[in-house]
């Protein structure tokens, strides 16, 4: 019995202590409010208080202040502090923020605010608005912006601008900052004029909602809401802004949204707000803005914090005089630390997402939605948080006309380094982004993006392959794999359209037609021979010409002998004109047949002569053939017929020879060992192969044509392997193999390499097949139709042909003919005409030899006739000819003077006598 009484007493005592503790915590909590007159945040504050009526009840002590007036703000703050408020919720601007921070830190009064976040060490300021600078930098990096204009207002502080400028210094961005507060109408126009000149349209606007609305209105009025402009609104209320006019111009708009209206816990509150009665308000009712949502969450945070303090039985009551805020030194409130800790420890989910604060009173562990303006309205395309950074969540329905995100999103365009399609610029190390590359594909990708209307980033495929399916792993590699596994959005490259690829990805219409071709090393040019000038005519023709020359000379000799018109008589009076050597010989022959008594000492009888002996006939034919003529001509009709047909014959032969001579001397001929795929298949001396993991290899692998099957069997079994990893490797193998390797590749690449130095490769034969390059997209991609239409449009405009001519032929290094075409048209070298000089030298030498033989023979004859030694005869003849005495006659004859008979019998009487003897002897 006694034991039960003691238990009752103990229970009663504990209950009394608990009731005493509960009674010590106030049931009503006075909270202060500092809001602009008739502001949206004040109305939401009233709305939030109506939703939080739990004990302890929040009792407002609101002062309507004029923003920007430090005196008004100071008076209101001190007034509320003297009334004993436990915490204050309200707004500040750049002019009053420092004053409020000072009061809160000195008096230990917590200030909960939805205003812009600031950098401060004051722990008594609870900042409800999340920091946006990291999310903004993440979006800039996602769009791969390197040059843009940053328009800002100092109303919301400069912390975001400072973050962007610091990042720009690290990443070498070009940022043009413009303060909209000091910007006039003229300076506003100049900003956009500079953007238009540089063909730039990337702009960031960092302002509060009211000022941002005015700037967007100016943009629409100036017509700067076209498709070529892209705006990022550095504001957390993307859905709070009226973007209707901007959407009409097609401008690309990206922004951030803090309040997720689609959340089940948010939409009912938004609906209740719209139904909430706003008394005595002169401002029309609007939807719940993000600053209002932050105010609602601020009230919820305060309510939760005081409820936690009550549960913890912490005495925060303010007894006696509340104190003077302007006292010197200031008297801080002792319970302020407890309230500050309770507010920072709140963990709730509100209208603005998860609400949590760090030790400095700033929001942490929050998520911001990234929005874009689509034709149908704002759409969420991603989100940003501290852990994952920027994450893309845009999804598209195939066949849907709603292509939101198409213009604003930066698409990944995979490609491959392959000349002349994609090449690094010489100064690529100093460039960033797409500017590092040049080539046919680079310009084509830019044109496609321009026509479709999206931004893109070129990405070189990591494994350097086009794309094939691995037979072991069944996985796709190369650019095809990038599309299949959604690592890229588009593939703009020399990617061949094939059946196996079409099964896993989509292709556009071909932008280039081509086929498989054969590349070999250009054969060594045949060096011209010594007698290369004989090449224009075959050796059989030369032999026929020689025989014709001899035959014509013989026929001319015979017809001249038989025709009486070729014989003529010549009378020579003593002391008259001397006879020709032929006529003198004929006269001597007649005189030898007569007796001395029959000879007339003063007058010779007429002589019958014929100029066309066998040697003169040969000389006449040779002169006609050489187009030089002769000093004798046939007189008879038969002789002239022979001469006429020979002249006609030589005219045709010489003309034909001259026409071909230039080509044979200036163009050096090359003999190709391979002319077609059949030539490759039926030999084994020259190896041949293709690119590994490419469409060319698949073509031979799947072909049912006998020749190609035979070639595939050889390539598959060849050791060492004839397959190469890259086209450059295949080309180098062709060049280094000394003609023992042929590379099978697309004709377009073959033609391009043929135009590149050192100009030692060539394409032989025709194309083995017919196919095309296409732009690839993942299966079901919304880009397929726009890209396809863009390719057709570029083809109809002739731009595709223009690009090919630019990168293939206009930039060629080997001339239009390929190879060393410049050398082919250069001047003749000595080796081309060396044989002509050899014949000239040989002819001159032969003439000297014949002259020597004639001299020796004549000297021997004279020595016998003059009955003297051969040495004396040669000496006398030499002295006579070297002295130059005597008269020159026609046709090289020497006319002698008349000498007495006795003088002619004396050996070497004088130079004149010797010359006369020599002349008569001739």
Query: pLDDT tens digit string along 820-835?
Result: 444 444 566 666 667 6
Q: Is the pLDDT of residue 13 over 70?
A: no
Q: Confidence band (pLDDT; 50, 70, 90) for 181?
A: confident
Tens digits of residue pLDDT in 225-251? 777 788 999 989 988 888 877 777 677
Q: Which stretch of 36-40, 464-468, 604-608, 712-716 has the lowest confidence by average pLDDT?
A: 604-608
User: Coil, helix or strand for 414?
Assistant: strand
75, containing H or E segment: helix 70-82
Closest C-alpha to 385, from 364, 370, 366, 363: 366
711 is written with which tokens? Answer: 């070639």
In this prediction, residue 742 carries a pLDDT of: 92
| Chain position carrying tokens 């990944």 | 412
Q: Does the bond joining 56 to the residue before it have cis omega, within 30 degrees of 0?
A: yes
Q: Is the pLDDT of residue 470 over 80?
A: yes
469 is written with which tokens? Answer: 């399916």
| Beta-bridge partner residues of 513 | 772
Would strands 252-257 and 230-233 be described as parallel, antiparallel, or unpaired?
Answer: parallel
Q: Give the mean pLDDT of 451-463.
A: 89
For 179-247, what is the HEC assignment?
Answer: ECCCCCHHHHHHHHHHHHHCCCCEEEEECCHHHHHHHHHHHHHCCCCCCCCEEEECCCEHHHCCCHHHH
Higher pLDDT, 912 or 192: 192
| Chain position carrying tokens 């598209």 | 396
Q: What span, in angstroms and rounded, lies between the C-alpha atoms of 629 and 651? A: 13
Buried b (16+ CB within 10 A) or exposed e, 727-760: beebbebbbeeebebbbbbbbbbbbbbbbbeebb
Q: Confidence band (pLDDT; 50, 70, 90) for 587?
A: very low
Q: Is the pLDDT of residue 889 over 70?
A: no
Q: Give the mean pLDDT of 12-35.
A: 63
Q: What are phi and psi of 88, to 5 degrees?
A: -130, 140
Closest C-alpha to 773, from 575, 501, 388: 501
Q: Does the bond joining 665 to the residue before it have cis omega, within 30 degrees of 0?
A: no
Q: Is the pLDDT of residue 178 over 80?
A: yes
8 Å CB contact between 96 and 200: no
In this prediction, residue 760 carries a pLDDT of: 86
In this prediction, residue 796 carries a pLDDT of: 92
Q: What span, in angstroms and rounded, lies between the C-alpha atoms of 742 and 678? A: 13
In this prediction, residue 833 carries a pLDDT of: 67
Q: Is the dihedral of CA 8, 10, 15, 20 positive or negative?
A: positive
CA distances from 481 to 508, 697, 727, 785 (A): 17, 18, 20, 21
8 Å CB contact between 137 and 173: no
Q: Which stretch of 86-90, 401-405, 546-550, 613-617 has the lowest confidence by average pLDDT?
A: 401-405
Q: What span, in angstroms and rounded, lies between the C-alpha atoms of 220 and 212? A: 13
Q: Is the pLDDT of residue 850 over 70?
A: yes
Tens digits of residue pLDDT in 333-387? 777 888 888 999 999 999 999 999 998 889 999 999 999 888 777 888 889 998 8
58, containing H or E segment: strand 57-65
| Chain position carrying tokens 């004109």 | 577
Q: Give the mean pLDDT of 582-587.
A: 41
Q: What are phi and psi of 227, to 5 degrees?
A: -65, -25
CA distances from 613 to 566, 582, 650, 921 (A): 11, 9, 22, 20
Q: Does the bond joining 666 to the residue before it have cis omega, within 30 degrees of 0?
A: no
Tens digits of residue pLDDT in 632-686? 888 888 888 888 888 888 888 888 888 887 766 655 555 677 888 888 888 888 8
Of the spans 90-94, 530-534, 570-574, which averages the highest pLDDT?
90-94
Q: What span, in angstroms and rounded, lies between the C-alpha atoms of 843 and 853? A: 15
8 Å CB contact between 121 and 103: no
313 is written with which tokens? Answer: 């039985």
Closest C-alpha to 265, from 51, 41, 54: 51
Q: What span, in angstroms and rounded, lies between the C-alpha atoms of 625 and 628? A: 8
Q: What span, in angstroms and rounded, lies between the C-alpha atoms of 605 and 491? A: 109
8 Å CB contact between 478 and 457: no
Computed over every residue of the chain, the mean pLDDT equals 79
Higher pLDDT, 255 or 530: 255
In this prediction, residue 778 carries a pLDDT of: 87
Higher pLDDT, 500 or 281: 500
Q: What span, in angstroms and rounded, lies between the C-alpha atoms of 236 and 421? A: 43
| Chain position carrying tokens 């960033």 | 432
Q: Confidence band (pLDDT; 50, 70, 90) for 424?
A: very high
| Beta-bridge partner residues of 254 | 232, 372
659 is written with which tokens? Answer: 């026409």
In this prediction, residue 491 carries a pLDDT of: 94
CB atoms within 10 A of CB 683: 11
Strands (E), 104-185: 110-113, 125-127, 147-152, 174-179
Q: What span, in angstroms and rounded, lies between the C-alpha atoms of 652 and 648? A: 6
| % residues pLDDT > 90 (the chain) | 17
Helix axes 267-275, 40-51, angle to 10 degrees: 110
DSSP state of 148: E
Q: What span, in angstroms and rounded, lies between the C-alpha atoms of 438 and 788? A: 23
In this prediction, residue 198 carries a pLDDT of: 65
8 Å CB contact between 110 and 339: yes
Q: Confidence band (pLDDT; 50, 70, 90) for 776?
A: very high
Q: What span, in angstroms and rounded, lies between the C-alpha atoms of 307 and 418? A: 68
The C-alpha R_g of the chain, in whole angstroms, comes to: 55
| Beta-bridge partner residues of 32 | 61, 88
562, containing H or E segment: helix 539-562
717 is written with which tokens? Answer: 């079994």
CB atoms within 10 A of CB 771: 20
In this prediction, residue 666 carries a pLDDT of: 59
DSSP state of 176: E
Q: What span, in angstroms and rounded, lies between the C-alpha atoms of 7 and 848? A: 158
Closest C-alpha to 881, from 844, 853, 914: 914
Q: What span, in angstroms and rounded, lies between the C-alpha atoms of 194 and 197? A: 5
Strands (E), 324-394: 348-350, 353-355, 367-374, 377-385, 389-392
In this prediction, residue 794 carries a pLDDT of: 92
CB atoms within 10 A of CB 81: 20
- First-to-last alpha carbon distance for the chain, in angstroms, is 185
Q: Is the pLDDT of residue 900 over 50?
A: no
430 is written with which tokens? Answer: 């100093």
Give the chain's largest Cα–Cα span.
209
């Amino acid at each position: 019995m006694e034991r039960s009484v003691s238990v009752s007493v103990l229970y009663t005592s504990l209950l009394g202590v608990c009731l005493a503790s509960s009674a010590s915590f106030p049931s009503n909590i006075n909270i202060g409010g500092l809001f602009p007159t008739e502001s949206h945040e004040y109305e939401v504050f009233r709305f939030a208080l109506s939703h939080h009526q739990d004990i302890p009840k929040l009792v407002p002590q609101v002062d309507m202040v004029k923003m920007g007036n430090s005196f008004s703000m100071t008076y209101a703050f001190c007034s509320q502090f003297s009334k004993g408020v436990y915490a204050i919720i309200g707004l500040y601007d750049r002019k009053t923020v420092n004053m409020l921070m000072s009061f809160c830190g000195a008096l230990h009064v917590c200030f909960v605010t939805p205003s812009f976040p600031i950098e401060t060490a004051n722990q008594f300021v609870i900042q409800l608005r999340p920091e946006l600078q990291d999310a903004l930098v993440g979006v800039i990096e996602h769009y791969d912006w390197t040059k843009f204009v940053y328009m800002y207002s100092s109303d919301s502080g400069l912390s975001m601008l400072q973050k962007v400028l610091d990042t720009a210094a690290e990443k070498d961005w070009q940022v043009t900052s413009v303060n909209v507060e000091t910007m006039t109408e003229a300076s506003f126009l100049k900003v956009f004029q500079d953007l238009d000149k540089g063909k730039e349209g990337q702009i960031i606007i960092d302002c509060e909602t009211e000022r941002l609305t005015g700037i967007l209105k100016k943009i629409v009025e100036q017509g700067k809401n076209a498709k070529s402009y892209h705006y990022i609104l550095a504001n957390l209320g993307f859905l709070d802004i009226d973007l209707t006019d901007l959407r009409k111009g097609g401008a690309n708009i990206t922004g951030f949204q803090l309040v997720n209206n689609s959340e089940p816990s948010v939409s009912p509150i938004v609906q209740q707000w719209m139904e909430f009665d706003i008394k005595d308000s002169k401002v029309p009712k609007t939807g719940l803005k993000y600053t209002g949502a932050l105010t609602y969450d601020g009230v919820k945070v305060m309510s939760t914090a005081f409820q936690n303090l009550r549960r913890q039985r912490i005495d925060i009551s303010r007894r006696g005089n509340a104190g003077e805020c302007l006292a010197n030194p200031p008297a801080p409130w002792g319970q302020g630390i407890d309230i500050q800790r309770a507010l920072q420890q709140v963990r709730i989910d509100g209208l603005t997402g998860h609400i949590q604060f760090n030790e400095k009173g700033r929001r942490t562990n929050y998520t911001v939605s990234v929005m874009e303006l689509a034709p149908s309205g704002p759409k969420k395309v991603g989100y940003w948080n501290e852990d994952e950074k920027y994450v893309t969540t845009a999804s598209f329905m195939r066949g849907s006309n709603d292509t939101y995100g198409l213009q604003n999103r930066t698409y990944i365009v995979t490609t491959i380094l392959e000349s002349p399609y994609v090449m690094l610029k010489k100064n690529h190390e100093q460039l960033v982004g797409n500017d590092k590359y040049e080539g046919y594909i680079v310009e084509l990708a830019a044109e496609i993006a321009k026509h479709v209307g999206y931004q893109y980033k070129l990405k070189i495929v990591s494994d350097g392959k086009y794309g094939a399916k691995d037979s072991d792993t069944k996985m796709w590699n190369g650019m095809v794999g990038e599309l299949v596994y959604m690592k890229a959005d588009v593939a703009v490259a020399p990617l061949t359209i094939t059946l196996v690829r079409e099964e896993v990805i989509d292709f556009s219409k071909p932008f280039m037609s081509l086929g498989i071709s054969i590349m070999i090393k250009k054969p060594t040019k045949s060096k011209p021979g010594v007698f290369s000038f004989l090449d224009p005519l075959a050796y059989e023709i030369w032999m026929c010409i020689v025989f014709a020359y001899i035959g014509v000379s013989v026929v001319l000799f015979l017809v001249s002998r038989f025709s009486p018109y070729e014989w003529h008589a010549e009378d020579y009076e003593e002391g008259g004109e001397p006879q020709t050597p032929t006529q003198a010989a004929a006269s001597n022959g007649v005189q030898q047949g007569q007796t001395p008594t029959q000879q007339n000492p003063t007058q010779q009888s007429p002589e019958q002569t014929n100029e066309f002996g066998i040697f003169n006939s040969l000389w006449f034919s040779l002169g006609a053939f050489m187009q030089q003529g002769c000093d004798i001509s046939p007189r008879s009709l038969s002789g002239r017929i022979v001469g006429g047909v020979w002249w006609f014959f030589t005219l045709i032969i010489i003309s034909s020879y001259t026409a071909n001579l230039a080509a044979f001397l200036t163009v050096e001929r090359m003999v190709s060992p391979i002319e077609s795929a059949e030539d490759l298949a039926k030999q084994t001396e020259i190896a041949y192969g293709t690119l590994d993991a490419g469409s060319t290899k698949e073509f031979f692998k799947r072909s049912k044509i006998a020749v190609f099957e035979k070639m595939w069997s050889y390539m598959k079994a060849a050791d060492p392997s004839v397959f190469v990893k890259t086209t450059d490797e295949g080309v180098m193998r062709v060049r280094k193999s000394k003609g023992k390797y042929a590379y099978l590749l697309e004709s377009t690449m073959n033609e391009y390499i043929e135009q590149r130095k050192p100009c030692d490769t060539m394409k032989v034969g025709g194309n083995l097949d017919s196919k095309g390059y296409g732009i690839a997209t993942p299966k079901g991609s919304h880009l397929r139709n726009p890209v396809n239409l863009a390719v057709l449009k570029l083809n109809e405009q002739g731009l595709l042909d223009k690009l090919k001519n630019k990168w293939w032929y206009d930039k060629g290094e080997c001339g239009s003919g390929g190879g060393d075409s410049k050398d082919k048209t250069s001047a003749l070298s000595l080796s081309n005409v060396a044989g002509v000089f050899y014949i000239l030298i040989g002819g001159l030498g032969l003439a000297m030899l014949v002259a020597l033989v004639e001299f020796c023979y004549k000297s021997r004859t004279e020595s016998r006739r003059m009955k003297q030694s051969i040495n004396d005869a040669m000496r006398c003849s030499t002295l006579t000819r070297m002295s130059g005495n005597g008269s020159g006659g026609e046709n090289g004859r020497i006319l002698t003077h008349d000498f007495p008979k006795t003088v002619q019998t004396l050996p070497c009487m004088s130079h004149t006598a010797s010359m006369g003897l020599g002349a008569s002897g001739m």
